[in-house]
Amino acid sequence: MSIDPGSYTPIYRQLADLLRVRIEAGEFAPGESLPSETRIAQEYEVGRDTVRDALAALRNEGAIITVKGAGSQVRPQHDVAVVRVDGRARVAARMPSSAEKRQLKLTDGTPVLVVHREGRDEEVHPADRTQLDVGD
Amino acid sequence: MSIDPGSYTPIYRQLADLLRVRIEAGEFAPGESLPSETRIAQEYEVGRDTVRDALAALRNEGAIITVKGAGSQVRPQHDVAVVRVDGRARVAARMPSSAEKRQLKLTDGTPVLVVHREGRDEEVHPADRTQLDVGD
DNA sequence: GCCCATTTGTCCGTATGTATA
DNA sequence: TTATACATACGGACAAATGGG
């Protein structure tokens, strides 16, 4: 499979799909680095900006993380903290505000879980390392 | 408040902050269009690319939605469907796969809620129009 | 239905700054 | 210190979608 410049699907999206397949196939282990943007641009014969668009898409869907100066890697799996939610509650999810993102040290593509309970403050949990245990 | 090109905070981020403030102040109602990228670029005297970076940040945090050919608008609030979750369950949140994004017609910056229950199929709900009612 | 102006999307280029190793 | 890699910011050009007339 390769890139078709004549396709109606944008190149950066085709490239993101190709990289996603390689990631899911296990070609890059979690925590392992992908090739550099320049390298990928050479391999697929596209501009670096196009590569960056593809990597941005993968970041925003939580597939990879990127560290300035160091490169991109498959998103490492965190240990999951199971948070018990007693009693009746409302649970929602959303993207963090920029303040929450800083405070909780959230990477791009990481939502938060929000727990509302009667008479209590709202709880906000990072979704990349939290599961809720609810009910009963 | 204005943009300081000499700041250590990137221009596109300063611009995103400025626009976020204007949105939160109610200058643009939900569903109401923001000025065009070109217009914003002129107003703040920055390149269109910088404006696009700022708008992308706002999209990915769920603050706005953008429609090709039509512009960006403050994210309209959906009616929330409350989904009752009976019994014990595990609840998580993550960004949708590209397939889920298409199927559920999710806009950028919209996570999904995932409900795991013993002996049942996993349930996936769009977080921009779903809340879970859990417990008891 | 069609045309047209507007607007966003895609893709490329260059240059410079900053973080990492 | 040096080299590599990503981040930011500007520019231009054309494609594609929208909406109004």
* Domain edges within chain B: 11-74, 81-134
CA distance B41 to chain A (A): 20
Query: Which CATH class for the A11-74 domain?
Result: mainly alpha
**Residue A33 reports pLDDT greater than 80:** no
Mean of per-residue pLDDT scores for chain A: 91
Whether the CB-CB separation of A70 and A37 falls below 8 Å is answered with no
Cβ of B88 within 8 Å of Cβ of A113? The answer is no
Task: Say what percent of chain A tops pLDDT 90.
Answer: 66
What secondary structure letter does DSSP report for A105? T
- So what's the pLDDT on residue A65? 94
pLDDT digit string, tens, across residues B80-113: 999 999 889 999 999 999 889 989 999 999 999 9
Residues in chain A within 8 Å Cβ distance of B132: 90-92, 134
Q: Is the CB of B16 under 7 A from strand D?
A: no
B17 touches strand D (CB under 7 A): no
Structure tokens at A120: 């209590």
What digits encode the pLDDT tens for the residues A57-71?
999 999 999 998 889
Distance CA B85, CA B58 (A): 32
Sign of the C-alpha dihedral computed for residues B49, A52, A78 and A132 taken in this order: positive
What pLDDT was estimated at residue B8? 86
Report the pLDDT averaged over residues B66-85: 94
Question: Quick one: pLDDT at residue A28?
Answer: 85
β-strands B71-74, B64-67: how paired? antiparallel
Q: Please give the DSSP secondary-structure letter assigned to residue B86.
A: -
Give me the pLDDT at residue A3, please.
Answer: 81
| pLDDT of A79 | 92
Rounded Cα–Cα distance for residues A32 and A74 (Å): 6
Mutate to test the interface with A, among B13, B66, B132 (most CBs of A within 10 A): B132
Instruction: Report the SS3 class of residue A116.
Output: strand
Say whether B135 and A89 touch across the interface (CB within 8 A). yes
The 10s digit of each residue's pLDDT in A93-131 is 999 998 899 999 999 999 999 999 988 999 999 999 999
User: Which of B58, B104, B102 is closest to B81 using CA atoms?
Assistant: B104
CB contact under 8 A, A17 and B98: yes
pLDDT at position A123, please?
A: 95
Residue A47 carries which DSSP code? -
Q: B110 or A7: whose pLDDT is higher?
A: B110
A67 at B interface, C-beta within 8 A:
no
